[in-house]
Amino acid sequence: MEFYLKASLKTSADPAAGKEEIEKIMAEAEKTIFAKGAPEGEGAKIKSWSLGDKSIDVELTSGRYVRVHDAVMRLKKALAESIGKTHKIGIRGVEAETFTITVPSEHDLKNKKIPYVKSVEFTDGNLVLELEVSETEMRNQVPDRILTLIEDKLEKDEYGAKAEHWNLLWESEDREFHYTEDPTEDMLKQGWLKRGAGRGQWIHGSVTTRLFRVFEQIVVEEILNPLGYDEMIFPKLVMWDIWKHSGHAKGIYPEIYYVCPPKTRDPEYWEDVMDYYKVTHEVPVEMLKDKIGDPIGGMCYAQCPPSWGFFQGETIATESLPILIFDRSGTSHRYESGGIHGIERVDEFHRIELVWLGTKEQVVETTKLLHERYAHIFNDIMDLKWRKAWVTPWFMAQEGLAGIAADEVTGTTDYEAPLPYRGPTGEWLEFQNVSINGDKYPTGFNVKSQSGEKLWSGCSGVGLERWTAAFLAQHGLDPEKWPPEIKKRFGKMPKQVKFL
């Protein structure tokens, strides 16, 4: 890897008067200011330099250490201190004439547009990126972030079609299923639910709503109460700042529902829109686009990130750890890819989100107990055929990253159930997950412990639509054929609305 920068340091006067001092700094730079923080001999190098009428022009090269944009800033400071003190010559700024980064690669970026990159060439096993950056971008480490972005893209390309790591951990015994219909279609026929007006949205009638409440009650009685979770209410409108700290701002854009506020509440400002509707009975969407502000964030996409605003910037007392909390206060929204289907792939869904925070040992122990409780529910209460697998951590997947976490503890376990109506070798539905997120969120939101010990966290989302889809796909819609505990909790079939 190589960085190359041809730059001009603009001076307030002809720098020739300070030539002697400049020559000394240039001669010693590689052993002094460019060597700091780099292994011996691996700092930035000066390829050439010259003096202009009101400029000091320089060519710099570097590898990974003391990269050229850092080197030129160090050079600017040293020159300003030297010739400014002795000759009253100031350095007014740095202009980058040519800035390239050469990265070894087996893959082309295929004309992908990258911020601040003017051009990309793929030649002789290298990507050559020409950057268009000012002193501000160089000072703010934009070239470093561009390189990180390029490396992420190359790693993703190298991973190829394997979008997600998957390793089977456990699977229950095979069984024969007596119900093989699509439960959503049956639910529609029996009037249990209707499609909502929005994409991937359902209106749940009294039957499916009661089944949701049964599963919710099971979670409360079998997990939340025994393990000591306390209920909180997390925001459902998530601002950009939260997603920046959580890391989601790196890759959620194709999947979130955006929220834009009106530019004003003044009725006169909106009069033309209201008048248009009164006349046409159509909502003038094009007119609305000009009257709403920029997106301030989006609707809840993953439930746990907004909870971290409660802890952000705080130091938590040792006696408060571990913290075990959950939220069930509203819907989540996600623009599903690959098409929507039934109640299992929807844009609007209902979840109970569990979050736990503590030392590494506390988080690992809490996760172990949670796995035990889920296994009990799926085996002994819901009587499901299921399996669990170690997969790409959910936060990595949502940031557009592939593979697995760096350690063997941090990561996500998916619970999957077969859908019999898809056939004997058909689709398995991911209906539950448990994640240990390591120190990602405590670090991202600057949360510390009283003892100074590093904090970890975990999360687990109980998707009521997914639980219902897996359960009904295997057991059907007749409550008399449901497992005894579910049948008992469900009780008498609720009264349904009849339409003429």
- 46 close to 29: Cβ distance less than 8 angstroms: yes
Residue 400 has pLDDT above 60, yes or no: no
- 22 close to 57: Cβ distance less than 8 angstroms: no
**Of these residues, 67, 135, 137, 334, which one is catalytic?**
334
Query: Is residue 210 annotated as part of the catalytic site, yes or no?
Result: no
Which tokens hold the place of 103?
């990265």
Query: Is residue 353 annotated as part of the catalytic site, yes or no?
Result: yes
Residue 161's pLDDT is 39
- 464 close to 472: Cβ distance less than 8 angstroms: no
Q: What is the pLDDT of residues 429-482, one digit of tens each?
A: 999 999 999 999 999 999 999 999 999 999 999 999 999 999 999 999 999 999
> Which among 417, 317, 411 is positioned nearest to 367, based on CA atoms?
411
Average model confidence (pLDDT) for the chain? 93
Which stretch of DSSP H or E encloses residue 462?
strand 456-463
**Of these residues, 344, 347, 414, 465, which one is catalytic?**
414
**Of these residues, 353, 416, 437, 489, which one is catalytic?**
353
Which tokens hold the place of 230?
């306390």
Least confident of 295-299, 419-423, 477-481: 419-423
**Of these residues, 433, 437, 465, 489, which one is catalytic?**
433
Residues in the chain: 500
Query: Is residue 213 annotated as part of the catalytic site, yes or no?
Result: no
Q: Which residue has the higher pLDDT, 291 or 341?
A: 291
> Which among 353, 385, 348 is positioned nearest to 465, based on CA atoms?
348
Residue 163 has pLDDT above 70, yes or no: no
Query: Is residue 348 annotated as part of the catalytic site, yes or no?
Result: no
Q: Can you tell me the mean pLDDT for 3-30?
A: 96
59 pLDDT tier (thresholds 50, 70, 90) = very high
Q: What is the pLDDT of residues 213-251, one digit of tens each?
A: 999 999 999 999 999 999 999 999 999 999 999 999 988
Give φ, ψ of 5 to 5 degrees: -135, 125
Query: Is residue 459 annotated as part of the catalytic site, yes or no?
Result: yes
Least confident of 247-261, 321-335, 400-414, 425-439: 400-414
DSSP secondary structure string, 345-408?
B-SEEEEEEEEEEE-HHHHHHHHHHHHHHHHHIIIIIS----EEEEES-HHHHHTT--S--SSS
Residue 393 has pLDDT above 80, yes or no: no
| CB-CB neighbours of 495 under 10 Å | 8
Residue 162 has pLDDT above 80, yes or no: no
d(CA 490, CA 216): 12
d(CA 328, CA 330): 6
Longest dimension (CA), the chain: 98
Residue 417 has pLDDT above 50, yes or no: yes
439 exposed, middle or buried (CB, 10 Å; 0-12, 13-18, 19+)?
middle
Buried b (16+ CB within 10 A) or exposed e, 257-280: beeeeeeeeeeeebeeeeeeeeee
**Of these residues, 67, 304, 327, 465, which one is catalytic?**
304
| Helices within 160-268 (DSSP H only) | 183-189, 206-219, 225-227, 240-246
111 pLDDT tier (thresholds 50, 70, 90) = confident
Residue 160's pLDDT is 47
Strands 55-62 and 117-123: unpaired
d(CA 19, CA 30): 18
d(CA 379, CA 172): 9
Query: Is residue 328 annotated as part of the catalytic site, yes or no?
Result: no
What 3-state class would DSSP assign to 220?
helix
Query: Is residue 304 annotated as part of the catalytic site, yes or no?
Result: yes
> Which among 416, 426, 414, 431 is positioned nearest to 469, based on CA atoms?
431
d(CA 435, CA 460): 6
**Of these residues, 328, 351, 466, 489, which one is catalytic?**
466
DSSP secondary structure string, 307-350?
GGGGTTT-EE-GGGPSEEEEE-SSEEE---SS--BTTTB-SEEE
The residue type of 172 is S
d(CA 87, CA 11): 12
Residue 164 has pLDDT above 70, yes or no: no
Which tokens hold the place of 268?
């006169």
Q: Can you tell me the mean pLDDT for 166-177?
A: 93
Residue 405's pLDDT is 58
- 243 close to 303: Cβ distance less than 8 angstroms: no
Q: What is the pLDDT of residues 247-291, one digit of tens each?
A: 999 889 999 999 999 999 999 999 999 999 999 999 999 999 999
- 48 close to 59: Cβ distance less than 8 angstroms: yes
What 3-state class would DSSP assign to 3?
strand
**Of these residues, 67, 328, 345, 351, which one is catalytic?**
345
| CB-CB neighbours of 372 under 10 Å | 12
Query: What's the 3-state SS for 105-171?
Result: CCCCCCCCCCCCEEEEEEECCEEEEEECCCHHHHHCCHHHHHHHHHHHHHHHHHHCCCCCCEEEEEE
66 pLDDT tier (thresholds 50, 70, 90) = very high
Residue 53 has pLDDT above 80, yes or no: yes
Residue 165's pLDDT is 80
Q: What is the pLDDT of residues 184-199, one digit of tens each?
A: 999 999 999 999 999 9
- 242 close to 297: Cβ distance less than 8 angstroms: yes
What pTM does this model have? 0.80
Q: Can you tell me the mean pLDDT for 89-118?
A: 91
403 pLDDT tier (thresholds 50, 70, 90) = low
d(CA 378, CA 395): 25
Query: Is residue 334 annotated as part of the catalytic site, yes or no?
Result: yes
Query: Is residue 176 annotated as part of the catalytic site, yes or no?
Result: no
d(CA 340, CA 34): 56
d(CA 152, CA 147): 9
Query: Is residue 345 annotated as part of the catalytic site, yes or no?
Result: yes
d(CA 428, CA 77): 61
